[in-house]
């Protein structure tokens, strides 16, 4: 049985505090939603602002493979003819195949918010739907506050959706606008509506009680065949129902069909693309699509997953475009080391115990390897019997001073050993870490010119024991990149410069060891 997906990220989702999309952003997201297989994409409210109006102008000129574009707006104003209502004219001018009209279901809103009569509200609903149908539109009627309205006055709430159905609405969508309903109430109300109306139903829920997904699933079980929501649950207050969680639950757990299997396998990609366009950090712990959704940290868990993957995974991660990860920490076992090493493309043969002991010792001192896969890879490589460090730090000195009364400058002096050679260099920087980085590169580049391609892309500092004030232990995470490869390294010390040095040295040593390994394999291949 099919459940149709109605995405309102571009309208309801943009009501999230701190989220703003340009017209170009909205078009990019709409293309991704269409590619994913979304059946309906709500583009915005054309009568409310120039940006949404511009979106519909450009959307009308585009070809959509799977989705119908919907324009959203309210029913006509009280005591105004539908033909004369500016908002309804803006909806028609949007030239979309689908129009979504929102109307009042709750007597409280009719009498105290709209300040009109119950009878006039019914006329507003019917007149607005009829006008859109007369212009050949597919009409989705959103019954706002329906579950609260039904609780207050069941008969009147039902009369509002009867008015929409009688005027020709193609869908009636029951909305939990305040997001405070429980699944049992959703089921009870949808079941009652199904018994009263012979019209396709949809569900639109908000997440104020952390139940938007559960309420949407309950409504579908009770008979709704359209589900509205947003990507990543974006929306006002606590957000909307999260389609990223709803779709796999429906399709993989409940036997409904929403999109093709190949499209479902793009779910993780879709979630991350939208968060990138919206300039919001993705939730690492989001169900199905977060980087930690299938991450295994406990040693017992990893040992079990190594034997039978679904022993600690509720689905196969690739079904939604994600992957299994093994996390390294003081809670790990030897299986973690073995599996994580294999994921990184290196061997830990026979070294698991010594590497694990080293991880536990360092984490007891404040290091953390969960987010520092580069430093973990170095632990494994350094444990090998044939490991030779590409460079060794002998001395380092950093001076920070105010010069000429204008600005603070830093100067780093380093002494390094590379093979049998000693390099003694100095460099200035706009801070101590920058100066240290420049001095190290100045010493290393003559021997390792490939390091010119390695760049620092992120630097994070965390205080581990803030109660010790300026004497606190500091953890530094440093992310480096070379081409399309990225890796993160970690340092930890009560001295922030030492912690930075540890992370910086690891970030430069790792690509050298990887390049050395590639050269050895190339020579072995030629010899064979």
The pLDDT of residue 373 is 82
Confidence class of residue 57 from pLDDT cuts 50, 70 and 90?
very high
Domain boundary among 204, 234, 259: 259
Residue 415 CA to residue 424 CA, distance in Å, equals 4
| CA 55 vs CA 42, 65, 300, 425: distances in Å | 11, 18, 52, 57
Question: Per mean pLDDT, which of 29-33, 291-295, 342-346, 432-436 is the most reliable?
Answer: 29-33
Question: pLDDT of 353-389, one tens digit each?
Answer: 777 777 778 777 777 776 678 888 888 888 887 888 9
Q: What is the DSSP letter of 250?
A: I
Same structural domain for residues 305 and 340? yes
The pLDDT of residue 505 is 92
The closest of 483, 439, 431, 438 to 457, measured between CA atoms, is 483
Same structural domain for residues 58 and 149? yes
Same structural domain for residues 372 and 412? no
pLDDT at 72 over 80: yes
Residue 340 CA to residue 360 CA, distance in Å, equals 16
Computed from CA positions of residues 56, 57, 58, 62, in that sequence, does the dihedral angle turn out positive or negative? positive
Domain boundary among 356, 383, 410: 383
* 252 is a domain residue: yes
Q: Are strands 392-403 and 407-418 parallel, antiparallel or unpaired?
A: antiparallel
Domain boundary among 350, 383, 416: 383
Q: Are strands 226-229 and 4-7 parallel, antiparallel or unpaired?
A: parallel
CB-CB neighbours of 313 under 10 Å: 15
| DSSP secondary structure letters along 287-343 | TTTSTTTTEE-SHHHHHHHHH-GGGS-SS-GGGGT---EE--STT--HHHHHHHHHH
Please give the residue range of the domain that contains residue 339.
295-383
Confidence class of residue 302 from pLDDT cuts 50, 70 and 90?
low
Q: What is the DSSP letter of 251?
A: I
Same structural domain for residues 138 and 182? yes
Task: Give me the mean pLDDT over the 399-414 stretch.
Answer: 81
What integer best gives the mean pLDDT of the chain? 89
pLDDT at 221 over 60: yes
pLDDT at 297 over 70: no
pTM above 0.85, yes or no: no
Same structural domain for residues 144 and 221? yes
3 state DSSP class of 460: strand
The pLDDT of residue 322 is 86
202 beta partners? 173, 226
Task: Give me the mean pLDDT over the 334-355 stretch.
Answer: 70
In the chain, % of residues over pLDDT 70 = 89
Same structural domain for residues 192 and 60? yes
Question: pLDDT of 227-239, one tens digit each?
Answer: 999 999 999 999 9
The answer to whether residues 212 and 240 touch, using CB atoms and an 8 Å cutoff, is yes
Computed from CA positions of residues 388, 390, 396, 401, in that sequence, does the dihedral angle turn out positive or negative? negative
What is the domain count for the chain? 3
The closest of 374, 302, 372, 384 to 347, measured between CA atoms, is 384
Same structural domain for residues 206 and 145? yes
The closest of 178, 189, 236 to 211, measured between CA atoms, is 178
Task: Give me the mean pLDDT over the 418-441 stretch.
Answer: 92
Q: Which stretches within 95-153 are classed as H helix?
A: 107-108, 118-134, 146-152
pLDDT at 313 over 90: no
pLDDT at 305 over 60: no
The pLDDT of residue 525 is 67
The answer to whether residues 183 and 210 touch, using CB atoms and an 8 Å cutoff, is no
Residue 336 CA to residue 368 CA, distance in Å, equals 15
Question: pLDDT of 29-51, one tens digit each?
Answer: 999 999 999 999 999 999 788 89
Q: What is the DSSP letter of 116?
A: -
More confident residue, 391 or 367: 391
3 state DSSP class of 284: coil
The pLDDT of residue 307 is 64
pLDDT at 335 over 90: no
* 220 is a domain residue: yes
Weakest mean pLDDT among 156-170, 324-338, 507-521: 324-338
Question: pLDDT of 101-112, one tens digit each?
Answer: 999 999 999 999
Same structural domain for residues 247 and 378? no
In the chain, % of residues over pLDDT 90 = 62
The pLDDT of residue 436 is 92
The pLDDT of residue 385 is 78
Size (the chain), residues: 528
pLDDT at 331 over 60: no
Same structural domain for residues 77 and 147? yes
Token pair belonging to 487: 């890796």
The pLDDT of residue 212 is 98
392: left (phi over 0), alpha (psi -120 to 50) or beta: beta
Task: Give me the mean pLDDT over the 415-422 stretch.
Answer: 92
CATH number at 144 reads 3.20.20.70
pLDDT at 403 over 80: no
Same structural domain for residues 246 and 168? yes
């Amino acid at each position: 049985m099919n459940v149709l997906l109605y995405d309102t990220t571009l309208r309801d989702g943009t009501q999230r505090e701190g989220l703003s999309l340009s017209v170009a952003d909205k078009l990019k997201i709409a293309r991704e939603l269409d590619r994913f297989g979304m059946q309906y994409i709500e583009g915005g409210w054309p009568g409310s602002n120039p940006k949404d109006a511009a979106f519909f102008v450009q959307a009308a000129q585009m070809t959509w493979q799977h989705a119908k574009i919907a324009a959203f707006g309210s029913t006509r104003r009280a005591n105004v003819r539908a033909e004369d209502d500016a908002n309804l004219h803006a909806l028609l001018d949007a030239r979309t195949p689908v129009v979504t009209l929102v109307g009042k279901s709750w007597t409280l809103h009719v009498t105290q918010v709209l300040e009109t009569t119950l009878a006039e509200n019914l006329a507003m609903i019917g007149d607005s739907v009829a006008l859109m149908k007369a212009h050949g539109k597919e009409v989705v009627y959103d019954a706002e506050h329906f579950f609260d309205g039904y609780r207050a006055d069941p008969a009147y709430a039902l009369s509002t959706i009867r008015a929409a159905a009688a005027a020709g609405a193609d869908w009636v969508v029951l909305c939990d606008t305040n997001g405070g309903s429980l699944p049992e109430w959703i089921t009870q109300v949808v079941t009652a509506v199904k018994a009263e109306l012979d019209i396709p139903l949809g569900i639109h829920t908000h997440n104020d009680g952390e139940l938007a997904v559960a309420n949407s699933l309950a409504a579908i079980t009770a008979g709704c065949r359209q589900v509205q929501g947003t990507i990543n649950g974006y929306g006002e207050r606590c957000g909307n129902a999260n389609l990223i969680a709803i779709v796999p639950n429906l399709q993989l757990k409940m036997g409904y069909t929403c999109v093709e299997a190949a499209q479902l396998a793009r779910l993780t990609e879709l979630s991350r693309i939208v968060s990138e366009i919206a300039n919001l950090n993705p939730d690492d712990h989001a169900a199905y699509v977060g980087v930690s959704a299938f991450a295994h940290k406990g040693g017992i868990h990893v040992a079990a997953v190594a034997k039978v993957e679904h022993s600690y995974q509720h689905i196969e991660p690739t079904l939604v475009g994600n992957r299994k990860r093994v996390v390294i920490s003081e809670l790990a076992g030897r299986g973690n080391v073995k599996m994580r090493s294999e994921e990184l493309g290196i061997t830990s043969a026979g070294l698991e115990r010594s590497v694990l002991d080293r991880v536990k010792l360092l984490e007891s001192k404040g290091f953390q390897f969960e987010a520092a896969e580069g430093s973990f890879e170095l632990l494994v490589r350094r444990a090998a019997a044939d490991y030779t460090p590409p460079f060794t730090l002998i001395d380092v000195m950093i001076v920070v001073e105010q010069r000429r009364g204008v600005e603070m400058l830093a100067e780093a002096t380093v002494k390094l050993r590379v093979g049998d050679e000693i390099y003694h260099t100095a460099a200035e920087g706009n801070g101590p870490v920058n100066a240290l980085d420049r001095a190290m590169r100045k010493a290393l580049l003559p021997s390792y010119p490939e390091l010119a391609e390695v760049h620092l892309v992120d630097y994070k500092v965390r205080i581990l024991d803030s109660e010790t004030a300026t004497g606190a232990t500091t953890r530094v995470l440093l992310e480096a990149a070379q081409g399309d490869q990225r890796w993160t390294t970690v340092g930890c010390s009560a001295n922030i410069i030492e912690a930075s040095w540890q992370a910086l040295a690891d970030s430069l040593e790792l690509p050298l060891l990887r390049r050395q390994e590639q050269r050895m394999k190339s020579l072995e291949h030629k010899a064979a």
